[in-house]
Every structure is written in structure tokens, then in C-alpha cells.
Amino acid sequence: MKTRPLKIVVAGEGGQGVQAVAEILAEAAYEEGRQALYIPNFGVEQRGGVSIAFLQIGDMPIGAPKFEKGDIVVALSGRAVLRTRQYVGPQTTLVYDNLAEVKDEDLPRQAARILSIPAVDTAKKELHPRVFNVMILGAVIGATGVVTMDDAKKALEKRLGYKFEQDPKLRELNYRALERGVELLGQVMQGGREQSGELRAHN
């Protein structure tokens, strides 16, 4: 059955690898023969702004590059949470890092679900800070199932294969980060660590 495109927003500070997450997801969708449309919004992150990636993945041609509300919004910093509030609607799942400096009142209570995951902390303690964005990639896959893990790994190979050839340990590190991101998202959802309030289960 053909369905409408899944709309994804990823936002964070410059240097957090936001655009790489969207690019790899788009590449994984291509691997599956699906439609994907990725629009970067670099803004002025070099001068302290927020970098945003807009991505749509579906089975049918995608008509418009822009959209008003995301199905999933991932914010990697407190400022990213504030910057992406306008893309959160009653059907949106918001995922943000638990170390992001964000007040409860800054969270968009109109969201269907708000999930806080310890991605930064886990990357630092278990793997390496530089694979934080790959862990976020895994969390998006865990939340949406929008692409398979196999195709995500193929997309990682296409993007980073030359580095993997130079240092095979990097392949293992990135693959583990991808898998760990899926695990983190699953643990949060199963543990019921969703924000309380005007929230509904995401259908």
C-alpha cells in the first residue's frame, strides 16, 4: 500500500552532524528504491545559529520540498528544540537529547509524544563523541522504521567507506553507534520515559 511520505526534521548546532544524518537516511532510502527529498538549511550556524535538515521519504513522488509539520522532529540542543517548535504538531514525535539545556515550558506540548534519550552521554561513555550523529541516525530508524538497518549500513559504507578501508575499526564503531541508537530509542519507549502532560500515543 502506498502511503504519504514520512516527514523528518533534524536540528542541532553546527558541527553536530545534522546534515550527515539526513544525507545518510536519504541514501538508505535510495538503496531501497524509494523516493527521498532532502533539503538542508544551514542558516548561520557558523556564527552561532542552528543547522536544520528537512527530509521526506516515501513510496510515491514527493510534490513539495517544504512541509509545515514533521512526523518526527529530532533536536540535538536546547536552541534546536526552540527553533523546531513550529514544525511540531499533534501527530509529531519529538526526540531530544537529555543533556540539551531545555526547560519544560520550552517543550512543545502539542506533540503526540516527547522522548528524551541519552545520546551524547552514551556516545562519550561507550563509543566515541564523533559517532554521536550516527547514534541519532539509529534513533530515527528506531522511532520510524523508515529504512532498514542493512540499507542504513550500506549508506554509511557509501559515505564513509574510504575511511573504513583506512581504519576498519571505524566501521565497527559506526555500526555499533547505529545499533546503539536503535536500542536507546527502544529503551526509552519501553521504559515509559515520555514527557507527561497533553500527550497522546503516536498512532
Mean pLDDT per 10-residue run, the chain (203 residues)?
82 90 95 93 64 94 88 94 95 93 89 93 93 95 94 94 91 95 91 46 33
Q: Which residue is it, cell 526547560?
A: 103
d(C-alpha 128, C-alpha 126), whole Å: 7
Residue ranges per structural domain of the chain: 6-190
Would you list the DSSP string of 170-186?
HHHHHHHHHHHHHHHHH
**Interatomic CA distance for residues 157 and 69, integer angstroms:** 31
The answer to whether the beta carbons of residues 71 and 7 sit under 8 Å apart is yes
CATH of domain 6-190: 3.40.920.10
Radius of gyration of the chain (CA): 16
181 vs 134: CA distance, rounded Å = 8
Q: Can you read off the three cell numbers belonging to residue 124?
A: 562519550
Long-range contacts formed by 140-143: CB under 8 A, 24+ apart: 140/8, 140/10, 140/21, 140/25, 140/72, 140/74, 140/95, 140/181, 141/25, 141/178, 141/181, 141/182, 142/181, 142/182, 142/183, 142/184, 142/185, 142/186, 143/72, 143/93, 143/95, 143/115, 143/185
pTM of the model: 0.88
Helix (H), strand (E) at residue 53: strand 50-58
Predicted pLDDT at 192: 55
